[in-house]
Structure formats: C-alpha cells, structure tokens
Amino acid sequence: AAKEAGKASWARFEPRMRQDMVNHAMLAGELRAGIARGELRLLYQPIYDLVTGRLHGAEALVRWQHPERGFVSPADFIPVAERTGLIVPLGAWVLREACAQLARWHATYGDRTVESVNVNVAVRQLREVGFVDEVAAVLSETGLRPRNLIIEVTESSVVDGWQVRETLRALHEMGVPLALDDFGTGQSSLSLLRAFPVDVLKLDKSFVDGIAEGADRGRLAVAAAVAQLAEHLQLKAVAEGIENQEQLNRLRDMGYRYGQGFFMSRPVPADDYAALMAADPVRA
Ligand code: C2E
Ligand code: MG
Ligand code: MG
Ligand code: MG
C-alpha cells in the first residue's frame, strides 16, 4: 500500500517536478552565462546608528539584471546558485567587489565615515576548503583590515558541521567579525551561541514586522529577548527591515543600537551610498 501511495504521489508531482527541474536547469545555465557577461551588480543598504542617527555601515546585496527577464530577485537565484555550486564563483565576485568598493570609499572619504561593509556568505562557500585563504587574499589585495569586513551567515550555517565551524573560527581569529543573519528564525541553541565567536546579531525582519502591528506579543517578546541576549553577551544588535518610525523608536528603546530598513533607505547603488557618506559628518 505504501508503495502504491508512493507511486501515486510520484505520478501526481511528476509534471510539476519536471517543470521545476527545467526552470532550475535553465536558470542555472543563464546565471552561469550572466556572471560571465557581467550582469551582476551590488547594491548597498545603509545601516544606521539608531541612537545618533548617523550612517554606520552598509550591507552589500547582489542584483541580477537579466537582458530579457529583467530584474531577477536574489530570493530566486541565490537558492539555485547554492544548489548548483554557482554560489562559489558568485560569492567570490561579491566578496571582491564589496571589499574593492569599501577601499575606494575609504580612499575618498576616509575610514571614519563608514568603517565596514557586510557581505552575505552562503554555507556552501564556507564548506570550500580555500575560503579562509580567499578572504585573506581579498583583504590584502584591497588593503582592508579584517575588521572592515563583516561576514553575515545564517544560524543554520553555524550548526552545519565542524568544518564550517572551524572556518568561522579561523575567520574570527583572523579578526573578521561574524554576524548571525535572520536571527531568531533558525534553530541554533543558546549554548552554541555562547560557545561560538559571534560578534553581531541581526534580528530577522519578521520580528520587526510584529512591532508595527502592535498586537503581536510573541514576536515583540522575541525582539526584546534578542536585544537582552546581545547585551549580556556583549554583541552588536542590529534590527533589519525597519519600515516606520514607531518600529525604529521601539527597537532603539529595546536596545537595538543599529538598524536598517526601507524607512531609512532601500538598498542603493554605490554612487548613491557615497552621496550619503559625503553628507554624513565625520565622527569625532
Ligand atoms: P538578507 O541578508 O537578510 O538581506 C536583507 C533583505 O531584506 C534584502 O533583500 C533587503 O533588501 C531586504 N530589506 C531590507 N530592509 C527592508 C524593509 O524595510 N522592508 C522589506 N520588505 N525588505 C527589506 P534582498 O536584497 O532581496 O536579499 C534577499 C536575501 O538574498 C538576503 O537576505 C540574503 O539572504 C540573500 N542575498 C542577497 N545578496 C546576497 C549575496 O551577495 N550572497 C548571498 N549568499 N546571499 C545574498
Ligand atoms: Mg544579510
Ligand atoms: Mg537578514
Ligand atoms: Mg533576511
């Protein structure tokens, strides 16, 4: 009977699966070509100090401008890139480009305006044997110090296995800060967090959304607890996806020193980000 059921569900899902596989293979092929043709761009979303209101940093976010399909969201192509391994060359490009951009900004505006850039790194990249060397090479080529690059990983990367953990430990020892992205949505245990060299917690947008609605006590409680956790562990707390003044105020009052979101700015091209830096008074 189980076999019958298995067969039946296979039959039911097959056309859909085949379609997905075709789309997947097509997208993977086009992505490979797109990378080669230079269709990827980086945008930078400003990260603000919620207490002083000043520009604090930037998160590099990749964009793919396909000649016919138009804009393809990273939510669509990053998972494909991860499954096919294309994330490795793609991620290498992102890392190099973001660091080169920050070095250019430092040359023009000094490193006191914006010290660091955040780069998202997929677990697939962390499993590559040469990843630590790649980071070291990019830092030395661009003349950046390790603390100028903040690597964002999701909680699930940290629980992936000892190899990935060793890689993250090596990066941390090198002096590269680690941020746990989408924090609160994963399954990492609090003891792991204590044992692990994390520097920044980024509260996931879903908890920030709960704040505007006001009624969601559960998500509000998580947001507050994460801020407390960051304070006790002496980690930087960043809230992402802030869309209105009320969220900003409440998160700041909870203890989020830093934040990013459409309320302050969407991700913008490098030149627009530079204009924000130019307008921001240099820190004393
Ligand atoms: P993420 O790292 O959590 O990045 C934050 C996402 O939230 C970005 O979406 C950003 O545009 C969006 N966001 C920021 N503020 C707001 C807001 O106020 N409202 C709303 N609705 N959204 C906001 P984006 O750029 O589409 O990227 C989606 C995800 O794709 C990223 O989530 C990250 O996981 C992945 N990604 C993007 N670029 C890269 C990359 O270079 N490498 C890797 N491995 N993943 C990347
Ligand atoms: Mg991120
Ligand atoms: Mg995030
Ligand atoms: Mg996210």
pLDDT, tens digit only, all 284 positions of the chain:
444 444 444 445 566 656 666 677 888 899 999 999 999 999 999 999 999 999 999 999 999 999 888 888 999 899 999 999 999 999 999 999 999 999 999 999 988 788 999 999 999 999 999 999 999 999 999 999 999 999 999 988 887 888 998 999 999 999 999 999 999 887 766 777 877 789 999 999 999 998 876 667 888 889 999 999 999 999 999 999 999 999 999 999 999 999 999 999 999 999 999 999 988 866 54
Distance separating alpha carbons of residues 276 and 211, to the nearest angstrom: 28
How far is it between the farthest Cα atoms of the chain? 74
Say what the pLDDT of residue 215 is. 62
| Closest Cα to atom 2 of ligand 1 | 120
150 alpha carbon to ligand 3 midpoint, in Å? Answer: 13
Q: Tell me, in angstroms, the distance from the centre of ligand 3 to residue 51's CA.
A: 21
Distance, in Å, from the CA atom of 94 to the CA atom of 40, rounded to the nearest integer, reads: 9
| Own/partner long-range contacts of 23-31 (Cβ < 8 Å, ≥24 apart) | 24/80, 24/83, 27/76, 27/77, 27/80, 28/80, 28/81, 28/83, 28/84, 28/86, 30/66, 30/69, 31/64, 31/77, 31/80, 31/81, 31/84, 31/86, 31/90
Question: Which residue owns the Cα nearest ligand 1 atom 23?
Answer: 241
For ligand 1, atom 16, the nearest C-alpha belongs to 241
pLDDT of residue 186: 77
Nearest residue to 182 via CA among 113, 134, 118, 125: 118
Does ligand 1 come within 6 angstroms of the Cβ of 34?
no
Model confidence, pTM? 0.91
Instruction: Kindly state if the Cβ of 62 falls inside 6 Å of ligand 1.
Output: yes
Predicted local distance difference test score (pLDDT) of residue 188: 66
Nearest CA to ligand 1 atom 3: 182
Give the ipTM of the model, two decimals please: 0.98
Rounded CA-CA distance 182/204 in Å is 4
Task: Please state the atom number of ligand 1 nearest to the C-alpha of residue 81.
Answer: 44
Ligand 1 center to 13 CA (angstroms): 31
Question: In what helix (H) or strand (E) does residue 15 lie, and over which residues does it extend?
Answer: helix 2-36
On the 0-12 / 13-18 / 19+ scale of CB atoms within 10 A, 107 is exposed
Distance CA 54, CA 276 (A): 10
- Residue 75 CB less than 6 A away from ligand 1: yes
Give Cβ neighbours of residue 25 (< 8 Å, ≥ 6 apart).
none
Q: What pLDDT, on a 0 to 100 scale, did the predictor assign at position 213?
A: 62
Q: Is 240 in the pocket of ligand 1 (CB under 6 A)?
A: yes
What is d(CA 47, CA 57) in angstroms, rounded to the nearest whole number?
A: 5
pLDDT at 280: 80
Of 243, 262, 208, 278, the C-alpha closest to 43 is 262
Q: Whose CA is nearest to atom 11 of ligand 1?
A: 267
